[in-house]
Copies of this chain bind each other. A is one copy, B any other.
Amino acid sequence: MAERAHALSTIDGYSGYGAEQGEKKLRAAIAATYYADLGIEDSDIFVSDGAKCDISRLQVLFGSNVTIAVQDPSYPAYVDSSVIMGQTDLYQQDVQKYGNIEYMRCGPENGFFPDLSTVPRTDIIFFCSPNNPTGAAASRDQLTKLVKFAKDNGSIIVYDSAYAMYISDDSPKSIFEIPGAKEVAIETASFSKYAGFTGVRLGWTVVPKELLFSDGHPVAKDFNRIVCTCFNGASNIAQAGGLACLSPDGLKAMQDVVGFYKENTEIIVETFTSLGFNVYGAKNAPYVWVHFPGRNSWDVFAEILEKANVVTTPGTGFGPGGEGFVRVSAFGHRENIIEAARRLKQLYK
C-alpha cells in the first residue's frame, strides 16, 4: 500500500477514477483465491469498501418494499439498514423486535440453525456464517437446506462470509459450494478480519450472473448500476493492499493472523469452560458465545466491565435471541487476552 501511495505521485503510477467494480487484477485474484472451481467469474466480483457498506448498497437495490429474514442473533447492520430503508414496521418493545422482519432464532437448542419448516417466506434472507456473534458455522447439509428453502420460495439469500477463513472443520467457506446457490445467493465478504483491514476498508460482494429477479432480469445488472451511481470504487491504495493479501506471502500472513486469533479463542474457551460455563462458537470463528443462563446480558456485560475491567458485548445487542449470552472477541494482543482470562477466573472462581 505504501508503494502504491508513493506511485500516485509519479506520472506512470498515478491513477484516478478506477472501475467502480474494482480493479481487474483484484477481481481476478479474489475469484481465483476464494471461488476456484465454484463457477464464479471475475466479472461476478464487486470490490467494495467493506461488507457493511455493501449490505446497505444491497438494501438500496432491494428498496423499501421487500420482506427480510435475519438470524437471531445476528450482526446488527442487516436489521438497522432494513429499518433505514423503510422495510419494517415499528419497534415492538415487548418482544424487542421490529415488525415485518422475520427473526430466525438460532441457539443451542437448534444447533444455531433455524427450523426452516417454521420460517415464513421472505423476499430476502440475510445469513451470516460463521455467524457474528454466535460463531456458529452452518454445515454443508444445513446450507443445502437453506438454498433449497430459498429456491422453493423465490427468495434471495445475502450470505455474509466475512469470517470464512476462520473455519476449521469442513463447513463450506462459501455459499457457492452448494449446488444451485448461484441462482439464489449473493455473497459479501471482507479483508477486515483476515488482514486487520477494518480501518483500511476493503471487501467484496459476489453477485452471480445466474441470479435473476422473478422477471428474468439479472440482479447483477441492477447492482452494477447502484455501484456506479452510489459508489466510485474502493480506494486504489486499499485495492493494492487487497492484491498484496492475495499474493503467496499475503495469504500466508493472513493464515498466520487467523491462526493467532484462533489461539486466543482457545484461551478464552478454556477460561470459561474451566469456570463451568457453556460456550459456543469458537471453533470456526474469532468469537466465543458464552452462556449465562437466566441472566440479563447487559447485567453480565456490566458485571464483567466493572469488576474485571474487561469489555465483552452483551448478546441482546445482536437481537432478542442473544439474551443470556455475551460475545467474547479474540481480537486482541496475546498479553491482553491472558490478563483478561486471569481476571475472569478471579471474578467467577
Tell whether A201 pairs with B56 under 8 Å between CB atoms, given A1-B5, A84-B225, A229-B80: no
Over the window 82-104 of chain A, the binary record of Cβ atoms lying under 8 Å from chain B Cβ atoms (1 yes, 0 no) is: 00111000000000000000000
Complex Cα spacing A237 to B8, Å: 13
Tell whether A235 pairs with B49 under 8 Å between CB atoms, given A60-B84, A81-B230, A230-B84: yes
Task: Judge if A179 is at the interface, Cβ distance under 8 Å.
Answer: no
Task: Judge if A268 is at the interface, Cβ distance under 8 Å.
Answer: no
Asked if A226 contacts B84 (CB within 8 A), the reply is yes
Asked if A229 contacts B8 (CB within 8 A), the reply is no
Task: Judge if A24 is at the interface, Cβ distance under 8 Å.
Answer: no
The 8 Å CB contact of A233, one of B201, B229, B241, is B201
The 8 Å CB contact of A53, one of B200, B225, B232, B333, is B232
Asked if B86 contacts A201 (CB within 8 A), the reply is no
Asked if B14 contacts A196 (CB within 8 A), the reply is yes
Using a CB-CB cutoff of 8 Å, which residues 135-160 of chain A contact chain B? none
Asked if B85 contacts A234 (CB within 8 A), the reply is no
**What residues on B are CB-neighbors of A5 within 8 Å?**
1-2, 5, 237, 241
Tell whether A234 pairs with B16 under 8 Å between CB atoms, given A2-B2, A64-B86, A84-B226: no
Residues of A within 8 A of B (CB): 1-3, 5-6, 8, 11, 14-18, 49-50, 52-53, 55-56, 60, 63-64, 77, 80-81, 84-86, 196, 198-201, 225-226, 229-238, 241, 333
